[in-house]
Chain A
């Protein structure tokens, strides 16, 4: 089935530094979604990207979908301690009922 590879697995930053996580696939993705899971919590939907080259922003978060629709990135500017958690990318929907998740990137922020 569809596989999405996510890197890095872990990232530790100082508060105020930027952070980026990447999601890659060997095949074309129909869409890419991003979720955040706080420690001890459950995944929460952040955004969905559908179009080639699409870029969306949510305050300090910038999401990109590659031109070939095989990769995506989530960039956080000037991290805060509230950004701590695991960020997952996922692909699915359409005629495929599945929502397939990457392994996630665990972000920790040192205050």
Chain B
């Protein structure tokens, strides 16, 4: 148990669906991250939030929309995804963006059909 909880653990969605991934951290951290992990690719940073403000948007397509309502919660809203978006989506948190010791959630395995 890392203190970072992601739901759902598995998600299958059609290309026309809208869904959201949720991440919650109980560590009192100020920074939260979304990473994408595909087969045979390194962990790709998607978004970084520090104190609820987005500080990094790593050229992610607009069909991925993050939301950080407070320092404990992070969402990733998904719409009109493509099959190549199928991957493991990992949420992480750290004490702050300057001291990145990342604690990861267990991830959401997303399949787009």
A residues adjacent to B (C-beta < 8 A): 33, 35, 41-45, 48, 88, 90, 92-95, 97-104
Give bound CA distance, A40 to B18, whole Å: 26
In the assembled complex, 17 residue pairs joining A and B whose CB atoms fall closer than 8 Å, in A order, are: A33-B100, A33-B102, A35-B102, A42-B107, A45-B102, A45-B103, A48-B101, A88-B43, A93-B98, A94-B98, A95-B98, A97-B48, A98-B48, A99-B45, A103-B41, A103-B42, A104-B42
B residues adjacent to A (C-beta < 8 A): 2, 31, 33, 41-43, 45, 48, 50, 55-56, 58, 90, 92, 94, 97-107
Give bound CA distance, A93 to B106, whole Å: 22
- Which residue among A41, A43, A88 has the maximum number of chain B CB atoms within 10 Å of its CB? A43
Q: In the complex, which residues of chain A have a beta carbon less than 8 angstroms from the beta carbon of B101? A: 33, 45, 48
Known: A41-B106, A42-B2. A99 touches B42 (CB 8 A): no
Give bound CA distance, A100 to B45, whole Å: 7
Q: In the complex, which residues of chain A have a beta carbon less than 8 angstroms from the beta carbon of B92? A: 99
Give bound CA distance, A101 to B102, whole Å: 12
Nearest-CB distance from A105 to chain B (Å)?
A: 12
Q: Is the CB of B56 within 8 A of A97?
A: yes
For residue A1, which residue of chain B has the nearest CB? B58
